[in-house]
Structure 1
């Protein structure tokens, strides 16, 4: 059985089709040595702006995947697709309904060998993602771990994503979740604005996703790549 398309990802830059990024900045990000570009966002996504961003990223060799969270954005041509499923919300539309709508319209076009379910926990109550999805983001470490176990052990979701959306999360909690997973890969995203924060995240999660800082401080964003890769090499050497 082939390994999942994301199995070797340690560092990922996440780009939002609804946020402008000029050609020079995009080139720097795509040529940085990151393992992949992940395209996704919480609002303002359209077919047109998603296609536009994909076409620009395609000028580079870096793998590019899409979070297919909105039925309007089923764009073919990505190297992989994640189907986000919100864990900590009471709104069924974000658990399964919107995903079913997206698959109804685009499922026949997806390369299913490169599609993965992505169990999301949004953990910043002030974030756009939390407000849009109605996420109950103020969770204890024990509650976060319990949700992650539902995804990992009951749903058998291949990816669990802890999303702190603009704030740097509690790395002790992230490490605890990683230690309890039996088969899922742990993605971490949120608040990474320096190489040191990226290093801490890399010691806590399998895959580190860097987003907002790309638009705010390019130099700091680029510094996260080596920080994550070097941290991963250290772990591989130790273990």
Structure 2
């Protein structure tokens, strides 16, 4: 797996986009968002893509994302948050409420490192974003060696990131997969980050320039 499209239930894709995305050559889809989420919109979006042969991941950042049937459920832990709620607090409450119904074999935990201070996700999670490459490398090492997370996610959310930061994370990872998301709007940007990260995630450009979004799939190795 090298390329994923991230679909936001609070946004509207162009007419006919679903079929074209399924046939685009991408490796799968993440359904997730930060605000304006509701359960019915999430369910409609999931049903549109669930019939494809591709995996559909649901990122559980809100109760509106709790629907059955996904290939995997992604649980974000914001490692550089200054608010413990985004590291473990919300997860504790979720397990208290829904623990008996959680399909644990289908759950993957993502260790997020959010680096764009202007991003809604950074503001909501109170992330410390003024990090050095050494800081990012340390978070990546924690994700792999202390927490043994399957995914370390370098997230710039709306802004194209610094490849040096992504490379710093990559240098610390052997078993944990490095995902990168944020600001990929061109094939060249996709290619640059795909040369470092194990998986690139393409999101906002789907709603800004659909044809450009499709072009990012060409970077798959």
With normalisation by structure 2, the TM-score equals 0.95
Range moving further from structure 2, 159-168 or 72-81: 72-81
Partner secondary structure for residue 134 of structure 2: helix
Corresponding position: 1:199 with 2:191: yes
5+ residue gaps in structure 2?
A: none
Quick one: distance in 1 between partners of 2:61 and 2:168?
A: 27
* Counterpart position of 1:236: none
TM-superposed CA distance for 1:108, in Å, is: 2.9
Q: Is the 8 A contact 1:65 1:81 kept in 2?
A: yes
Range moving further from structure 2, 75-84 or 143-152: 143-152
Q: Is the 8 A contact 1:76 1:110 kept in 2?
A: no
* Counterpart position of 1:92: 84
**Any idea what the Cα deviations from partners look like across 1:169-220, whole Å, max 9, x if unmatched?**
1112212211211321000001101111111111010000000001111111
TM-superposed CA distance for 1:112, in Å, is: 2.0
Quick one: distance in 2 between partners of 1:104 and 1:62?
A: 31
Find the partner of 1:107 among 99, 106, 109: 99
5+ residue gaps in structure 1?
A: 1-8, 233-239
TM-superposed CA distance for 1:23, in Å, is: 4.0
Find the partner of 1:49 among 35, 41, 45: 41
Quick one: distance in 2 between partners of 1:56 and 1:135?
A: 33
Range moving further from structure 2, 145-154 or 184-193: 145-154
**Structure 1 57/161 Cα, relative in aligned 2: closer, same or farther at 3 Å?**
same
TM-superposed CA distance for 1:141, in Å, is: 1.1
TM-superposed CA distance for 1:226, in Å, is: 1.5
More helix by share: 1
**Any idea what the Cα deviations from partners look like across 1:75-124, whole Å, max 9, x if unmatched?**
11111111100111111111112122233333333332221110001110
Find the partner of 1:216 among 208, 214, 220: 208
Q: Is the 8 A contact 1:71 1:105 kept in 2?
A: no
**Any idea what the Cα deviations from partners look like across 1:128-184, whole Å, max 9, x if unmatched?**
111111111121111111111111111111100000011111112212211211321
**Structure 1 36/106 Cα, relative in aligned 2: closer, same or farther at 3 Å?**
farther
* Counterpart position of 2:121: 129
Give the CA RMSD over aligned residues: 1.4
Q: Is the 8 A contact 1:70 1:99 kept in 2?
A: no
Quick one: distance in 1 between partners of 2:163 and 2:209?
A: 23
Partner secondary structure for residue 108 of structure 1: helix
**Any idea what the Cα deviations from partners look like across 1:47-71, whole Å, max 9, x if unmatched?**
2221111011124222101111123
Partner secondary structure for residue 191 of structure 1: coil
Range moving further from structure 2, 22-31 or 122-131: 22-31
**Aligned residue-pair number:** 221
Range moving further from structure 2, 121-130 or 65-74: 65-74
* Counterpart position of 1:235: none
